[in-house]
Structure 1
Amino acid sequence: MVIGLLTCEIFEDEMAHMLSHDPDIGKVTFVESGPATDSIASLHGLLGNRLKRIKDAAEFLPDSALSFEVLAAVLRVALHMDKTMLREGVAEQARILAEKSDVLVLGYGLCGNGLLDIEKQLVDLRCPIVLLQNKDGSTIDDCVCLVLGGTEKYLDQVRREAGTWFVTPGWLKHSDTLLLKELHCPDIATVKWIFKKAAYKRVLMVDTGIGDRETLSAETKKFADTFGFYVDETKGTLNILERTFEQAKSLLTKRERSGNVKVKEDKAEA
């Protein structure tokens, strides 16, 4: 059975880690694109011949011998700066993946409400959608909430220090692009002015345990020194991501037992 996965470039390390450590997933097929390059590179060493690449989702052929496999596509970071572009891009790619999937994991939060009620826009997809959700069933707000473990964990940190700028491994990797775009600034000098006016004073490093901690700490300190922040840190988690995939697998298992999993028109791989 095929789990479609559509996600943002900022989650590439977390997704690669989770996919490579899930024993139920027999194969991961990535639709090649610029934003997917790092994810493919990370997974190549972890999955070996269980990783496949295709140029277009239309080329995908499911393997009927596998219990679960993933068909993944990655969209570029910072689409949320243009909410119309974000929504249209996610909806378009979701429809493409859904044609080849039995369930679709939408690896996005609300993204500044740019994807609010996106599931209603995609209600006519040929397969069900599973969203990244808090424990209460609400969709998570963004990438920070995902690795913190939910929106409430984010709010807890803001209550401790309202002037907090959150950094995750994914955010730091793309910080040059994200920082100027998020604040709509032409240069770092303007960013400094905005941070000062907004009374930011703390940078919170969210350590998910993935990757090189020394590099994460050094990049966080560099960021903090640039803007005169003090550094704090908290432990991150992949619980929401893992729970979402378990939900997708459970849904497929139940549908298979009831005979409701859609049969692909494509022939399975030999």
Structure 2
Amino acid sequence: MTNGTLAMIACPILEDEMIYSILNDPEDKRIYLLKNKNTSTLVPKLEYHNIDYINIDEKDFFKGTVRIADDGYSIVIWMMDLGLHSDPKHLGDAIRDELARIDGIVDGVALYYGLCGNGLLGIIDWCKESLKTPVTIFKGSDGKICDDCICVPLGGSDNYLKLVRRYPGVMYLTPAMACSQDDFLSSQEMFQGIEMTGMTRDEYMKFMLDLADYKYALKIDTGMGDQEHFQEECERFVKRFDLQLKRLEPEWISTETADRIYSEAKSFLKD
């Protein structure tokens, strides 16, 4: 039986993998959700899967006015702002600040992120040098940190490279990306300074896709997330940007990195 508190710090685009980990662990656990503005897509998924959770105000948690049970296994979910991706350096600085903030309050951290434009390059070495609390992140079987949210469902960087060679010049759509496409697009670094172009975001996106000769979007069905609306949201995306939709063959999909991050994170806690 696991004893201790695990923090899951997550980007909204990788919250489906976090829910997958919780659902596939049969061990009894208490789930605490730090209440902030970044939980809007997560809460309906928790409720859809009948995952019981306790809402805690984020400020109260860090003030210490709300107490986590000190017996048994507890998980604290802390969702980050998707908008951090608009600047990889800012994202890296912000995540380091938040990790330092939660250091010593929990017994282990699972960081549901990839390198994200190299904003988190060197993050695990930094954690080992700067924090008391052990931290893990999405990695392939070779130990390399996953590049981004597309690399994660492919099982690691090697398969990602193979995918890019197999399907060059396409937009990739996971369930979280397709079903949160407006927020996802708004968070991208490429849109900084867009007002100087005189274009809307969609016009600029279409211009960039045409410039790169992108003709397809690739549906990457992880089996996670909002399966009810995934197909229609993919269709909305391709219609929006005048692309054609292809479906990635199921044999490409893997839960290996999701299984690995959760297993390693739980190993930080006491049996």
TM-score range, shorter chain: 0.7 to 0.9
Equivalent residue, structure 2, for 1:263: none
Equivalent residue, structure 2, for 1:34: 37
Partner AA of 1:114 in structure 2: G
1:106 alignment partner, SS class: strand
Equivalent residue, structure 1, for 2:90: 85
Partner AA of 2:164 in structure 1: V
Equivalent residue, structure 1, for 2:217: 203
Distance in 2 (CA, whole Å) between partners of 1:47 and 1:222 is 29
From 234, 249, 255, give the equivalent of 2:266: 249
Equivalent residue, structure 2, for 1:150: 156
Asked whether the 8 Å contact 2:7–2:77 carries over to 1, the reply is yes
Q: 1:181 to 1:70 in 2, by over 3 A?
A: closer
1:20 aligns with 2:23: yes
Partner AA of 1:206 in structure 2: I
1:55 aligns with 2:57: yes
Equivalent residue, structure 1, for 2:177: 171
Deviation of 1:142 after TM superposition, in Å, equals: 0.5
Q: 1:251 to 1:38 in 2, by over 3 A?
A: same
Deviation of 1:18 after TM superposition, in Å, equals: 2.4
Deviation of 1:192 after TM superposition, in Å, equals: 1.3
Asked whether the 8 Å contact 1:20–1:43 carries over to 2, the reply is no
1:115 alignment partner, SS class: coil
Deviation of 1:206 after TM superposition, in Å, equals: 0.9
Could you give the per-residue CA deviations for residues 152-211 of structure 1, whole angstroms, max 9, x where no partner exists?
A: 222222111311110111112321133255232442122212111111122111111124
Distance in 2 (CA, whole Å) between partners of 1:46 and 1:226 is 31
Distance in 2 (CA, whole Å) between partners of 1:125 and 1:221 is 44
Deviation of 1:141 after TM superposition, in Å, equals: 0.4
The structure whose RCO (Cα within 8 Å, separation 6+) is larger is 2
Partner AA of 1:118 in structure 2: I
From 5, 8, 13, give the equivalent of 2:8: 5
Partner AA of 1:218 in structure 2: E
> C-alpha root-mean-square deviation of aligned residues, in Å?
2.1
1:110 aligns with 2:115: yes
1:69 aligns with 2:74: yes
Asked whether the 8 Å contact 1:71–1:97 carries over to 2, the reply is no
TM-score (norm 2): 0.84
1:120 alignment partner, SS class: helix
Distance in 2 (CA, whole Å) between partners of 1:104 and 1:46 is 23
1:217 aligns with 2:220: no
Asked whether the 8 Å contact 1:19–1:25 carries over to 2, the reply is no
Deviation of 1:136 after TM superposition, in Å, equals: 0.3
Q: 125-134 or 169-178, which moves further after superposition?
A: 169-178
Deviation of 1:62 after TM superposition, in Å, equals: 3.6
Please list every run of 5 or more consecutive structure 1 residues that lacks an aligned counterpart in the other structure.
Answer: 257-270
Distance in 2 (CA, whole Å) between partners of 1:90 and 1:131 is 12
TM-score (norm 1): 0.84
User: What percent of counterpart residues are identical?
Assistant: 26
Asked whether the 8 Å contact 2:29–2:74 carries over to 1, the reply is yes
Q: 1:211 to 1:104 in 2, by over 3 A?
A: closer
Q: 1:121 to 1:226 in 2, by over 3 A?
A: same
Q: 1:127 to 1:212 in 2, by over 3 A?
A: closer
Equivalent residue, structure 2, for 1:265: none
Q: 1:206 to 1:52 in 2, by over 3 A?
A: same
Distance in 2 (CA, whole Å) between partners of 1:248 and 1:121 is 17
Q: 1:146 to 1:189 in 2, by over 3 A?
A: same
2:171 alignment partner, SS class: strand
Could you give the per-residue CA deviations for residues 44-74 of structure 1, whole angstroms, max 9, x where no partner exists?
A: 45455x41111133345343431x2211200
Could you give the per-residue CA deviations for residues 113-150 of structure 1, whole angstroms, max 9, x where no partner exists?
A: 01101223332212111121011001000111112222
Please list every run of 5 or more consecutive structure 2 residues that lacks an aligned counterpart in the other structure.
Answer: 195-199
